[in-house]
Amino acid sequence: MNAQCIMVLGTTSGAGKSWLATALCRSYARQGLKVAPFKAQNMSNNARVVASEGGQGEIGSAQYFQALAARALPGVRMNPLLLKPEADTHSQVVLLGQVNAELTAMPWRERSNHVWPHIVAALDELRAENDVVVIEGAGSPAEINLHASDIVNMRVALHCNAACLLITDIDRGGAFAHLYGTWALLPANERALIKGFVLNKFRGDVKLLAPAPQMLQELTQIPTVAVLPMWWQHGLPEEDGVFDERSSASGTVKLTVAVIVYPRISNLDEFQPLKNIPGVRLMWVRSPAELAGLSPSDWLILPGSKSTSADLAWLRAQGLAAAVARHAGQGGAVLGICAGLQMLGEALIDPYGVAGNAPGLGLLPLVTVFEQDKIVCRTQSAFAFSIAAPALLDSDWVHGEVDVANPWAALAGVTVTGYEIHQGVTRQHPAMAQAGDVARAVLPDGLGWQNAAGNVLGIYLHGLFEDPAALQALFGSSLNGAVPTLEAVFERMADFVEAHFEPGTLTALLAQDLTQNQAIANAVYP
């Protein structure tokens, strides 16, 4: 096991673990080291499709981006256990990229012993193949009610002798109490693995922190190794459903894109590029009142969901279903992605108890049948030329500008690359089709459909707004290089942490002489 393991722990969820781990992956990778990310267990409905043994599987989006930052090929070993919440008390369990029905049905605390051997095997393989493994923890390592069944924080750290950083969000307040309390609740052998504290999202003069860092070091013998300033526009998609809810736009607002946030929203990270396009205001919507100012020229998006039927019922209960219908009826642009496509149809039919039967919104004459097997794959496909409505002007086509009446027309003929994660097949409603009410197939193999008017589009393909060709088609000259590439984002993040960590800290973490071993881990976590 040659790799040195660097682990990022947090005092809370949302403290900045994913962000810092991603930045460290790029920082170490550009030193010429072979780097891989790892997170033993991730709970998130933000997932990406990656290579797995014998095919393709799912991992959390954070580890996908960390792998790209590390200049590594994303794979299922980097996040061996993914929990996808379907309700407040139930999650679908994905083990090494594949849904595992047995683990899904198993009580939560009983899973630990079953999944730990898979976690250890995945981590040890990555350690054997790399110089550095950057590990992300989950939540807080000091949740004493969960300590005995821990498979993602200190048990992992002990197993691989990780040099650990503990990060906290100082913008929330109570940062020093969070750091000290977390440290104090850990057993002594686990405290010994923590090599530095990191204050994240700091605003103001760093000198005002004194004498707190020094006092904390006197109490714990652990230095504060970095104070990271608040950075709103770093460009990395947020993790675990935590996103910036502020409606924002650079320059004069020309287009509002309203994304409906249902309780089980998934893959919201694919909308990150829209935050950077000049004149575009991205807003997150939970009530009809928030749509009051939406004009027919604005876009309304129904995103992915981990529980389609339940979130569709929520839409109706909130009055949002009627608001979506009104917007579409006024000629407003509506886009449904994955579960959003399913909701736009006439009916959801569930013969296997996957999500539940439900009537759809009736904006596309389609029927979705849920199937037992999940479709998980990377996909490249071209939009049919028929997506272009007759109202589209030649000048609009040539200059790639948005056609207000039918913005989706600009996608005609564009080849896009994305990914599919869904457990349903969508087809024309047979009775409605026989009567002449049909949806136009705009992507092959049932991947995309459009209504006759052209303003309502439903696609199974995630990643539309991450595809450069699609962005160019939809926004044309207004882009002007405003959307940074992921490579540029990773480089800026690495520059940022290297500038704000104490000199020599990141290199010193690689040279830690840690004495914890597997025997200690087995004693603490029998």
The catalytic residues are 338, 462
Residue 464 and residue 442 in contact, taking contact as beta carbons nearer than 8 Å = no
| Residue 368, both tokens | 């979705």
Q: Kind of pairing, strands 448-450 and 456-459? A: antiparallel
Q: How far is CA 460 from the centre of its chain?
A: 17
What are residue 427's DSSP bridge partners? 367
Burial 433-445 (b: 16+ CB within 10 A, else e): eeeeebbebbbee
What are residue 377's DSSP bridge partners? 420
Q: Which residues contact 214 (CB under 8 A, 6 or more apart)?
A: none
Whole-number Å distance between alpha carbons of 250 and 256 = 12
* Closest C-alpha to 66, from 46, 44, 37: 37
User: Is the Cα dihedral 54, 18, 497, 212 positive or negative?
Assistant: negative
User: What SS3 class is residue 320?
Assistant: helix
User: Is the Cα dihedral 65, 66, 72, 78 positive or negative?
Assistant: negative
Task: Categorise residue 161: left if φ over 0, alpha if ψ from -120 to 50, beta otherwise.
Answer: left
Angle, helices 17-29 vs 61-69, to 10°: value is: 20
The length of the chain is: 526
Q: Which residues contact 177 (CB under 8 A, 6 or more apart)?
A: none
* Closest C-alpha to 335, from 304, 290, 302: 302
* Closest C-alpha to 412, from 351, 454, 378: 454
